[in-house]
Structure 1
Amino acid sequence: MGFFGVLEKNYKINLNNQQKEAVTHTRGPALVLAGPGSGKTTVIVSRTAYLILELKIKPENILTLTFNRAAKIEMEKRFNRVFSDLISGKKVRFSTFHSFCNLVVKDYEKMQGKYLSRIEGNEESKNNKRLILKEIYENINGSRINDDQLENLINDIGIIKNKMIKNIQEFETNIKNFSRIYNSYEEYKKANLLMDFDDMLTFAYVILKKFPSILKKYTGRYTFIQVDEGQDLSKIQFEILKLLTGPGDLAGFKEKNIFIVADDDQSIYGFRGAEPEYILNVEKQFGGCSFYYLNNNYRSTANIVHVSSNFIKNNTRRYEKKHSTCNEYKYDPFIIEARDQTAQYNFIVDKVNEHLSKKRDSTIALLYRNNISSIPLAEALDRNGIAFNVKQNKLFFFNHWAVQDILAFLKFSLDQTDIDSFSRIYYKMNRYISKAMLEYALKAGYKNSVIDGILKDSDLETYRKMTLLNVKSEFKKLSKKKPFDALNYIEKNFNYFGYVKEYCDGTGLFYDYIYSLFGVLKVMALKCKKITDYLERIEEVKELLENPSSESRVTISTIHSSKGLEYDCVMMLDMLNTELPGESAIDLAREENKAELLEEERRLFYVGITRAKEYLYLIYPNFRNGFKEERTIFIDEVLECMRVKTLNDIAEGMIVNHKHFGKGVIAAILEENKDKVIVEIDFNGVRRKFDLIMCLEKGILKIY
């Protein structure tokens, strides 16, 4: 019995012909283009066993590199679960790219007798990356950096390292004095023998290049290298791979036994420095590269496979593929138009309950482009008794300065002695209250209101006293308003966003983003009757997102964090042009003919829709934050894929089901063109005419 016979009989692993071809690749470079749900992990694990059992390669000579720790753990577990009883002795090494590079750095440290401190992962340490950058930013710019800006700063530093950018001055960023901050940060680390996460890559690259003895240690040990998620490689990672695999006179061997599994259609980490070009041009990097295709999708229904594979063909910078599946046709993607955000959440709640009632162990994913969408979604789910877990939620919303400002208005309305809240907002509400007035109140003292302390100043002009009395009265009235009305008052009467606009113009922050935070607060306020209830609810939602249910079958996640996972039902919400692909991506493609960003956003949408096994809902609200929104152009592209398939398949005699009239038969095709198909359907002798495309889009008709 051969290797594949043993896999099938003993371990129930039945590989298809494409998978077998990839598994039996032995020498030289190879690129395996693995589509969604095509069993790429099974291929890597099986090939590892094939190398050991059939080719007698020693386990310690095989290195498998993964994109993240979760993938490393899953692959290692799966390999050991299946093959541990067949392979004894030394273990195969499964490692994240960063962990491997850290090993290289440790070898260098040992050689030099100098040791670096790692400054990520320990938030309590004073040598913490975030604290160091905060201090450097404040020293250079004379102001504190907020959480959003800090995240952007860290991300931009990562891009510099991953893309190996040398001219920092020409790097485009919204961070004030970025090059000075970057250089100061690098100097600080060097002076204090510190290393961050990105340095693991850059240091390892330099060490492997400058110290042949260390390079030879790894090229001699790992004669077979496998890479998972190759489309997510950055330039620095690709350069490290090239060092580890040749040329022969440097690395110590001539064969470049590198086996890369990738899907260029799922390259979605451009913001981290990943670029699909390295995979698209792999033959230039590794001459004589063999290509293998894993086209069969074991995950999704035929409907979803057909739509997704045709949808991604709108991208031009990609390998051509022929995705297929043996799964049956079931349901086309459901396109859901909601009046506003509240209607969107109501639909989601109803559908989640419907799916769970039909099948209690059904897995459901609620996916969104940006983390901010998780807040009103979590609130709606919890309010309706639906438990959920959160996938890798990185959320700064509740600590954002603008959110804290709005809450300070509300808190001060309830307690006018709350000096902390008043100190946040006194100069942000268009009432001409100065810092000197605040300081006077602190010295003079007050009993019922901070404003009473200011009014004790005998030098105040009469008109100022009248203004202050009005402010005191305003806050008293504000405390009695419903939360939603109170937020409107803060916006319109206190003109808070006039201050925000001016602040954004001066700092380069995005006003629209900050106003969107206010929109989230307003959505959450709709169901609360009192400000006290509203403030409590915000704390409850914060706790929910920080400590979600781990047992729930419902997962809320960004599309990025859902990559590599699958669910029976996927609902993608807030599918708007402003969210995905984003207006900047559309503008760059239309006005400057630069489609790179638009194509990455299309790949992200593709990742989202290919998580679905059976049900896929694409949901968009017509209005958000009171403004009319346009649904994402990607929904139009999905509809076009569905329309083309319908036009190709439509024929007289086909059975259909109408939402109101029940089952019928297409008796005649009366008109057929690019925009519409008019059919006549026979319902038990009664014939009716319909615009087939429109009825299918609205879910009124279903074709069997």
Structure 2
Amino acid sequence: MDFFKYLEDDLNISLNKQQMEALKVSGKKVVLEACPGSGKTTTLVSRNAYLILSGIAEPSDILTLSFSRASARDMEKRFYSLFGSLIHSPVHFSTIHSFCYGLLKYCAKKYILHVPELLEGKQDGRKLKILRNICFSTSNEYLSDDALEEISNGISLVKNKLIPPQNYKSEYRDFPLIFEKYERYKNTNNLIDFDDILSLAYSVLKSDESICAGYAARKFVHVDEAQDVSLIQHKIIELLSKNGSLFMVGDTDQSIYGFRGADPEYIVNIKKIYPDAKIIKLEINYRSTGCIVEMSNNFIMRNAYRHPKRMETFNEKGKYPEYIAVKDSKAQVSKVIKLLADEYKKKTAAVLYRNNLSGIPLVYELIKNGTPFYMRDNYSSFFRHPVIADVFNFFHFSQSPEDIECFKKIYYKMGAPFPKTCISYLESIDGRYRNIIISLFDVYWKNSYMQEHLFRIKKAMKKIRRSKPSKAFEIIMNDLSYGEYIKRNAGFSTVFSTLKQLADGAKTMPELKKRLMIVKKEIERSYRMSSDAAVCLLTLHGSKGLEFDKVILIDLIDGHFPSEKSLDNAAAAGKRMLYEEEARLFYVGVTRARSEVYLIAPEKLDGKAVNPSRFIKRFLDPVCSFPAHWN
């Protein structure tokens, strides 16, 4: 059959010259650099079909791997919807992790071994619970879910980059010890995590020649999302493709998972690794308008660490992306709601953000407006965060100053150096009818320093009792010195700020609690919805691979996005890797849009003046003029 005629006449797929080359190319190592909206998935599944229907390969000769489950499922679904009537034998589509797990189960069956229990997956949060206990036993410190996630990512990065844990520069001094204890715990309890699947599979392929020969027998290995593949995954892919042809599809401009060990360096330096490697580029964007394509192009070309390419489109020019400065976070929410209005009924729309908590204040307003929405995350860690418990405990204690159990949860968070002995004293007296602060005045009647603290706390509690929630938050932060406590804990300030935004307009703390429950319930419900049917609230990382008519980027604040850490690294040591990854993340966000892009930056955050993200100017130049103080 004439495959290309079949594509055009029967499937209405007309390939451009670059896509056609990608289907036909031969060679041991090929990289397909595919810009956003260039039809890479259609190209990859069509290549699979071309090889089979042209008699070059049998279905069993082709292995197609991807970084994410969504991508693997999408490719498989697309392949069979297009070519299922012609190709009846199965073609293997899989994530790299799933493929390696299958390899381990095969080895266990062959050698009559037991595969350890998988720690992650069905039991959400189990890994973090184990790490929390290990961290507490190591440093006697309670860590938030955000901090534990950071440590978890560090462990993953160490394994994916194949580096010793002591060589990893972590913000946590005890990281090597935590790493060692975590490994020991898994070994003792016969557990493995996702990263162990890769490590064990790599070890088997390196050491067992018969198994490696069997798994490397395929003629063609295709890899999607190659820019997100880690060093250990590349090493596994090398072994699987050593006897055949390796075809990698990716975009160095969309590599955004460095914190997990993703290694775009492999693709950027492919010619150094394999001098005879071929590089093909898909540079035509079929998704976005001319303005979005042109400005995205100019933005990303300032990155040094990339394969040079220039994105083009045949779409109409369309309207220019728009920058919107708003007074504060409250005004930002109002502006987003106005931009969405009833358009979700006619157009697809997404609100994208760097920090995963930025979407929560929007949820309540969308609920009030009756706007359906979809969130990919269920945000369970936010609703069980200790900061939320603290806020309600402060309020409860202001209403019930005799509650010793409540006081035990907050006494060390109010800027007063209460020793643990004061708790023992309070428990020894009949405090059912006694105000705890008054009781402590009796203890410290000779200590003027402690009396000052007690007067401060007593006064603050009285004010909290009489205040609306929004005012109570200020009293808790400033008068109770809770602000000093949360500064010492990573991520706590963001949770406090998010809860404060939700409290806006609530008349009482019980009303705020009810509001929280409504938001929690609706987020859990939206989590089960289809992303096609509603306004999508997504992190920039979570938006990858998706597209919408209208895209709104929020919280574009310098020091947040790009982060302070990436700016410091770039300025102090000239290390631009982290900064360039954040630029790629911005690029991923704006290239999700078909026709409209809005960039929103609050002028104040928690009452303090902030600067808009430097990415706004870099993206909009020379369309807009900006104040001289902008970076």
2:200 counterpart of 1:203: yes
2:397 counterpart of 1:412: yes
- Which letter maps to 2:391? I
> Secondary structure, in 3 states, of the residue corresponding to 1:616?
strand
Compute the displacement of 1:205 (Å).
0.7
Pick one of 532, 535, 549 that aligns with 1:554. Answer: 535
C-alpha distance in 1 between matches for 2:276 and 2:106: 33
Partner of residue 288, structure 1: 276
2:517 counterpart of 1:539: yes
Partner of residue 689, structure 1: none
> Secondary structure, in 3 states, of the residue corresponding to 2:621?
helix
User: Residues 449, 540 of structure 1: CA spacing in aligned structure 2 closer, same or farther, 3 A cutoff?
Assistant: farther
Computing the radius of gyration over CA atoms, which structure comes out larger, 1 or 2? 1
C-alpha distance in 2 between matches for 1:418 and 1:490: 18
Partner of residue 491, structure 1: 477
> Secondary structure, in 3 states, of the residue corresponding to 2:73?
helix
2:244 counterpart of 1:270: no
Q: Does the CA contact (< 8 Å) of 2:128 and 2:145 recur in 1?
A: no
C-alpha distance in 2 between matches for 1:640 and 1:286: 38
Instruction: Count residues in correspondence.
Output: 622
Compute the displacement of 1:424 (Å).
1.4
Q: Does the CA contact (< 8 Å) of 1:566 and 1:611 recur in 2?
A: yes
Compute the displacement of 1:467 (Å).
7.5
> Secondary structure, in 3 states, of the residue corresponding to 1:347?
helix
2:319 counterpart of 1:322: no
Partner of residue 214, structure 1: 211
- Which letter maps to 2:45? V
2:564 counterpart of 1:583: yes
> Secondary structure, in 3 states, of the residue corresponding to 1:615?
strand
C-alpha distance in 1 between matches for 2:101 and 2:417: 56
C-alpha distance in 2 between matches for 1:544 and 1:448: 41
2:179 counterpart of 1:182: yes
C-alpha distance in 2 between matches for 1:561 and 1:75: 18
C-alpha distance in 2 between matches for 1:172 and 1:11: 52
Partner of residue 61, structure 1: 61
Q: What are the superposed Cα offsets for residues 49-107 of structure 1, whole Å, 9 maximum, x if unpaired?
A: 0010003411011100011111111111111111111012x300000000111122222
Partner of residue 80, structure 1: 80
C-alpha distance in 2 between matches for 1:188 and 1:496: 35
> Secondary structure, in 3 states, of the residue corresponding to 1:65?
strand
Pick one of 315, 338, 344 that aligns with 1:350. Answer: 338
Q: What are the superposed Cα offsets for residues 28-68 of structure 1, whole Å, 9 maximum, x if unpaired?
A: 22111111000000001100000100034110111000111
C-alpha distance in 1 between matches for 2:268 and 2:390: 48
Structure 1 spans left out of the alignment, 5+ residues: 247-252, 644-692, 696-704
User: Residues 22, 410 of structure 1: CA spacing in aligned structure 2 closer, same or farther, 3 A cutoff?
Assistant: same
User: Residues 449, 120 of structure 1: CA spacing in aligned structure 2 closer, same or farther, 3 A cutoff?
Assistant: farther
Q: Choose 484-493 or 205-214, whichever is displaced more.
A: 484-493
C-alpha distance in 1 between matches for 2:354 and 2:412: 35
Q: Does the CA contact (< 8 Å) of 1:60 and 1:91 recur in 2?
A: yes
C-alpha distance in 2 between matches for 1:94 and 1:641: 44
Q: Does the CA contact (< 8 Å) of 1:609 and 1:616 recur in 2?
A: yes
2:222 counterpart of 1:226: yes
Q: What are the superposed Cα offsets for residues 545-578 of structure 1, whole Å, 9 maximum, x if unpaired?
A: 3332725420000000000000000000011112
How does 1:498-577 map onto structure 2 within 5 Å?
498-501=484-487, 504=488, 509-510=489-490, 513-548=491-526, 550=529, 552-577=533-558
C-alpha distance in 1 between matches for 2:25 and 2:74: 23
Pick one of 305, 308, 311 that aligns with 2:299. Answer: 311
- Which letter maps to 1:638? F
C-alpha distance in 2 between matches for 1:307 and 1:452: 61
- Which letter maps to 1:105? L
Partner of residue 424, structure 2: 439
TM-score (ref. length: structure 2): 0.93
Cα RMSD (Å) of the superposition?
Answer: 2.5
2:240 counterpart of 1:244: yes
Compute the displacement of 1:694 (Å).
7.7
Partner of residue 319, structure 2: 331
C-alpha distance in 1 between matches for 2:451 and 2:263: 62
C-alpha distance in 1 between matches for 2:157 and 2:30: 27
Q: Choose 374-383 or 292-301, whichever is displaced more.
A: 374-383
Pick one of 248, 267, 273 that aligns with 1:260. Answer: 248
Q: Choose 203-212 or 372-381, whichever is displaced more.
A: 372-381
C-alpha distance in 2 between matches for 1:487 and 1:559: 29
User: Residues 458, 421 of structure 1: CA spacing in aligned structure 2 closer, same or farther, 3 A cutoff?
Assistant: closer
> Secondary structure, in 3 states, of the residue corresponding to 1:371?
coil
C-alpha distance in 2 between matches for 1:332 and 1:426: 54
Q: What are the superposed Cα offsets for residues 513-566 of structure 1, whole Å, 9 maximum, x if unpaired?
A: 433333223322221122221222223223333332725420000000000000
> Secondary structure, in 3 states, of the residue corresponding to 1:366?
strand
Structure 2 spans left out of the alignment, 5+ residues: none
Q: What are the superposed Cα offsets for residues 445-501 of structure 1, whole Å, 9 maximum, x if unpaired?
A: 344565289479799669789986885564244222011111111122212223445
- Which letter maps to 2:169? E
Partner of residue 426, structure 1: 411
Partner of residue 601, structure 1: 582
- Which letter maps to 1:286? Y
Compute the displacement of 1:346 (Å).
0.9
Partner of residue 100, structure 1: 99
- Which letter maps to 2:358? S
2:357 counterpart of 1:381: no
Compute the displacement of 1:408 (Å).
1.5
Q: Does the CA contact (< 8 Å) of 2:360 and 2:498 recur in 1?
A: yes
Q: Does the CA contact (< 8 Å) of 1:442 and 1:453 recur in 2?
A: no
Pick one of 147, 150, 156 that aligns with 1:149. Answer: 147
C-alpha distance in 1 between matches for 2:622 and 2:267: 27
C-alpha distance in 2 between matches for 1:490 and 1:352: 34
> Secondary structure, in 3 states, of the residue corresponding to 1:529?
coil
C-alpha distance in 1 between matches for 2:234 and 2:99: 14
Q: Choose 131-140 or 275-284, whichever is displaced more.
A: 131-140
C-alpha distance in 2 between matches for 1:458 and 1:636: 59
Partner of residue 372, structure 1: 357
Q: Does the CA contact (< 8 Å) of 2:460 and 2:479 recur in 1?
A: no
User: Residues 218, 382 of structure 1: CA spacing in aligned structure 2 closer, same or farther, 3 A cutoff?
Assistant: same
User: Residues 431, 150 of structure 1: CA spacing in aligned structure 2 closer, same or farther, 3 A cutoff?
Assistant: closer
- Which letter maps to 2:3? F
Q: Does the CA contact (< 8 Å) of 1:22 and 1:292 recur in 2?
A: yes
Partner of residue 657, structure 1: none
